[in-house]
Chain A
Amino acid sequence: ETGVTQTPRHLVMGMTNKKSLKCEQHLGHNAMYWYKQSAKKPLELMFVYNFKEQTENNSVPSRFSPECPNSSHLFLHLHTLQPEDSALYLCASSQAGGIYEQYFGPGTRLTVT
């Protein structure tokens, strides 16, 4: 238990569906992150929020839309995904951005059919 939870843990969706991934941290941190882990590729940073403000977007397609309503919650809204978007999506948090240790949630395993 790292203090970061994610729901759902597994998700199967069609290419025309809209779904959302949820992340919640109970560590009192101020920065939250979305990472993508595809088969045979290193983990890739997608988005960073620091004090609810988006500070990084690593050229992620617009079919992925993040939302951070407060420092404890982070969402990833999914719309018209492609089969190649199937991956493990990991949320992380840290005290603030940069030099602080990041803690990861258990991930959501997404399959796009």
Chain B
Amino acid sequence: GIQVEQSPPDLILQEGANSTLRCNFSDSVNNLQWFHQNPWGQLINLFYIPSGTKQNGRLSATTVATERYSLLYISSSQTTDSGVYFCAPTKGAGSYQLTFGKGTKLSVIP
């Protein structure tokens, strides 16, 4: 299966700071999602981004499939951004399986 590595594992930010989270994967993928898991366990979809760049408000994501990585940018961070961020690629056109990384735990402090 695909190996997924996320960095950094933990990140503490002052409110208002910017950050970049990285996701490396070991094989070619045809789908990649970024999620935010809040403290209550709910996974919220952030981006569906098998390739290219997308932006949604203060968040943006870039996937370079040929180089096997994806980046999540958070700008002007807020305390509500705290939680764990997961990337989850899928390999193969017929595969149903999202392979999750261990996540980046983000803490935004006032």
Task: List residues of A whose CB falls within 8 A of some B CB.
Answer: 2, 31, 33, 37, 42-43, 45, 48, 50, 55-56, 58, 88, 90, 92, 97-104, 106-107, 109
- Taking a contact as CB atoms under 8 Å apart, the answer to whether B101 and A98 are in contact is no
Q: What is the CA–CA distance of A90 and B41 in the complex, to the nearest angstrom?
A: 9
Is the pair B98, A98 in contact by a Cβ cutoff of 8 Å? Answer: no
Question: Which of B45, B50, B95, B100 lies in contact with A43, CB distance below 8 A?
Answer: B100
Distance in Å: Cβ of A112 to nearest Cβ of chain B = 17
Residue B30 at the A interface, CB < 8 A?
Answer: yes
Least CB separation from A55: chain B residue: B96
**Cross-chain contact A101 with B48 (CB below 8 angstroms):** yes
Q: How far is the CA of A46 from the CA of B45 in the complex (A)?
A: 20
Binding site for A on B (CB under 8 A): 4, 30-31, 33, 35, 40-45, 48, 50, 86, 88, 90, 93-103
Beta-carbon nearest neighbor of A31 in chain B: B96
Instruction: Say whether A98 contacts B95, CB under 8 Å.
Output: yes
Q: In the bound complex, how far is the Cα of B43 from the Cα of A56, in angstroms?
A: 22
Which of chain B's residues has its CB closest to A33's CB? B96
Residue contacts A-B, CB under 8 angstroms, 11 given: A42-B4, A42-B103, A45-B96, A56-B96, A92-B43, A98-B30, A99-B30, A99-B93, A106-B41, A106-B42, A109-B41
Whether A101 and B33, one on each chain, are in contact in the complex, defined by CB atoms closer than 8 angstroms, is yes
Q: In the complex, how many angstroms separate the beta carbon of A96 from the nearest chain B beta carbon? A: 9
CB-CB nearest 9 A-B residue pairs: A97-B96, A104-B43, A43-B100, A101-B48, A42-B100, A107-B41, A48-B96, A106-B42, A99-B31
